[in-house]
Structure 1
Amino acid sequence: MERATARAVRFHQIGGPEVLRIEPVEVRQPGPNEVSIRVKALGLNRAEALLRTDRYIESPQLPSGLGLEATGLVEAVGSEVRGFSPGDAVSVLPPTSMHEQPTHAERLVVPQSRLVKNPPGQAWTEAAATWMQYLTAYGALVQVAGMRAGDFVVITAASSSVGLAAIQIARRVGAVPIAVTRTSAKRDALAQAGAAAVIASDEEDLRSRLLEITGNAGARVVFDPVGGPIFEPLSAAMAEGGILIEYGGLSPEPTPFPLFEVLSRSLTLRGYRVYELLEDPARLQAASAFIRDGLADGTLRPVIARTFAFDDVVEAYRYLESNQQFGKVVMTLQE
């Protein structure tokens, strides 16, 4: 009997986007607690580029797949699956290992615990741009930092999908989002996206501007995926007892430990991964409810930078890594 196959994105060597290939992989039948999905769209993340260049929290085992999120239609369900049926529109929550459970493929088989139903009528491109970014931002800002109304919240890499999600979530709870971007090119767009203030860190003195914007009070929450030298001015403009949450490591430069600032103002520097939330059913339920409510009332609106066809995966990642995008890069699959 011939085995079923589907096309998937894989890479056989470490390198730039050009190492990505689309090749057939075997697709098994779902187990008792699993669901088979025909993928309609895929969201792209910086984490996938880091895995491909061996700079991620896990190292790829070559040849490797990649991908953290997907959305599509349920095709079949295992014998013990409850709450999902063929024809349901669903999204896949990020796996703990991209190598073991990659999402960049035409068809997927995933545990039902990693699925959520899409809101009624949500477009595939928007579904692909929802869960990773909002879960990441909500878990860090609300569940870890305890962000509340009136807080000054500094959001670096603010034009990324997670950065824009953070701006929207801050606005939704009544906090004051301060967007940090490298140049003025995206200043107006960030202001229109809800940022109360925008700082171009390559053109302005970051510490001085943050203190000016906060009336010298400093920011209680900093949300950063970059690291590197920016740690020093960020920590120097934080409020007493403030918390800096680091959720990435995009800077290739060393990250200094701001000892004096931490000691003098009792700061907390906290590493964060979205898996903290995904592996805690109560936290995931609370986050999902917040996101669904925000999507329903329009306070949360996924921003799509650009869409690419699945076959154009190399160009999609070149665009993602060019830093031109404002929002989420999405790949779509044909019927």
Structure 2
Amino acid sequence: MSKVVRFHRMGGPEVLQIDEVEVRAPGAGEVRIKVKALGLNRAEAMYRSGQYTFVPDMPAILGYEAAGTVESIGQGVTEFSVGDEVNVIPAFSFSDYGMYGELVVAPVHAIVAQPAGMTSVQAAGTWMQFVTAYGALIDIGNLQKGETVLIRAASSSVGLAAIQIANLLGAVPVALTRTSEKRQALIDAGAAHVIATQEQDLVAEVNRITEGKGARMAFDPVGGPEVANILRSLSFLGIFFQYGALDTADMSIPVMEVLGKDLTIRGYQLFEITENAERLGRAKAFISQGLEDGALNPLIAKAFKLDQIVEAHQYMESNAQIGKIVVEV
């Protein structure tokens, strides 16, 4: 029997509970992992509260990221052996797998060897953020040295990952945040510039930073009416990535800006990368190398224990954190 976090009804963090269940043996193409730490993601809160892309079957498991040790392997698995230190990348559906537990089963395509020199806590908070940022900025957007990228909700784990990747490429990361409260923390995290969008004129500030050229890219998990000003801040042939919907109101699109600058407005999910073996392979290689070189480094906001899973979700929903929330198992 193993402790596994599940929910039997949709709702707030309080619906999460720890159940004692028998975790099945790994099937063909699967591994079973003894979890040391797991990472929390906004998608899990949305799934738990009934705001995700599909309705969970009860009782429901959840969790996209984990770090631990291979406990057993299924038929046909040759990439890993029992005892290997591994991490789980979000590359599956909650209807099939969930990483919130002491013992979990994961598909082998979603497994990567834990990068050298990383702790389990660091590793559990790594892959969602860096793969998400990599997919937009590099795989699709082809961000280049010297180009400016606007990073909205920059104090989130994905925002911080985007700042680091932009710096690794020699690009100019501009952090967008609502107020000046997190300005210094974002500068310390590597942002070249910080714009407090409720206090400053976004378009004027971007024009000042880029000497009137505009930013080549914007990376946004929020949406809503502020998108109009972000689009006004882009350069000719600029590209806007929408990778979340923290504001579920319809976006405001200034059509003459889109036409006049030939802008691209693009929806994006990391599954576009993780469900393609070739693209995921390139992401694993890039991120693993960056982690081992020290150019990429996940910022952990706070670590909780497994029996504090409700408190961990409450903290995630408070928006007080800068970086990734991790749960030690």
TM-score by length of 1: 0.95
- Matched with 2:265 is 269
Moved more, 217-226 or 118-127: 118-127
Q: Residues 59 and 206 of structure 1: is their aligned pair in 2 closer, same or farther, counting only changes over 3 Å?
A: farther
After superposition, give the CA deviation of every residue in 1:128-148 in whole Å (9 maximum; x if it has no partner): 011111111001110111101
Distance (Å, rounded) in 1 between the aligned partners of 2:63 and 2:106: 13
Corresponding residue to 1:144 among 133, 140, 145: 140
Corresponding residue to 2:157 among 146, 161, 171: 161
Distance (Å, rounded) in 2 between the aligned partners of 1:96 and 1:248: 18
8 Å Cα contact 1:150-1:174 kept in structure 2 = yes
Corresponding residue to 1:135 among 131, 154, 178: 131
Shift of 1:101: 1.1
Residue aligned with 1:228, SS: coil
Q: RMSD of the TM alignment (CA)?
A: 1.2
After superposition, give the CA deviation of every residue in 1:208-262 in whole Å (9 maximum; x if it has no partner): 2222221111111000000001111000110001000011000133222332221
After superposition, give the CA deviation of every residue in 1:257-279 in whole Å (9 maximum; x if it has no partner): 33222111110001111111112
- Matched with 1:230 is 226
8 Å Cα contact 2:30-2:105 kept in structure 1 = yes
- Matched with 1:83 is 79
Say yes or no: does 1:36 pair with 2:32.
yes
Corresponding residue to 1:105 among 101, 104, 107: 101
- Equivalent AA in structure 1 for residue 18 of structure 2: I
After superposition, give the CA deviation of every residue in 1:258-316 in whole Å (9 maximum; x if it has no partner): 32221111100011111111122221111111111111211101100000001101110
Percent sequence identity is 50
8 Å Cα contact 2:87-2:111 kept in structure 1 = yes
Corresponding residue to 2:252 among 252, 256, 275: 256
TM-score by length of 2: 0.97
- Equivalent AA in structure 2 for residue 28 of structure 1: R
- Equivalent AA in structure 1 for residue 144 of structure 2: R
Residue aligned with 1:39, SS: strand
- Matched with 2:237 is 241
8 Å Cα contact 2:27-2:75 kept in structure 1 = yes
Q: Give unmatched runs, 5+ long, in structure 1.
A: none
Distance (Å, rounded) in 1 between the aligned partners of 2:62 and 2:229: 34
Distance (Å, rounded) in 2 between the aligned partners of 1:54 and 1:213: 41
Distance (Å, rounded) in 2 between the aligned partners of 1:287 and 1:170: 15
Say yes or no: does 1:218 pair with 2:206.
no
Say yes or no: does 1:190 pair with 2:186.
yes
8 Å Cα contact 2:92-2:110 kept in structure 1 = no
- Number of residue pairs matched? 329
- Equivalent AA in structure 1 for residue 260 of structure 2: S
8 Å Cα contact 1:58-1:97 kept in structure 2 = no
- Matched with 2:92 is 96
Say yes or no: does 1:8 pair with 2:4.
yes
Distance (Å, rounded) in 2 between the aligned partners of 1:26 and 1:219: 52
Corresponding residue to 1:27 among 23, 32, 40: 23
- Equivalent AA in structure 1 for residue 272 of structure 2: E
After superposition, give the CA deviation of every residue in 1:3-35 in whole Å (9 maximum; x if it has no partner): xx3221112222211111111233111123221
- Equivalent AA in structure 1 for residue 53 of structure 2: I
Residue aligned with 1:48, SS: helix
TM superposition outliers: structure 1 runs of 4+ over 4 Å = none
Residue aligned with 1:42, SS: strand
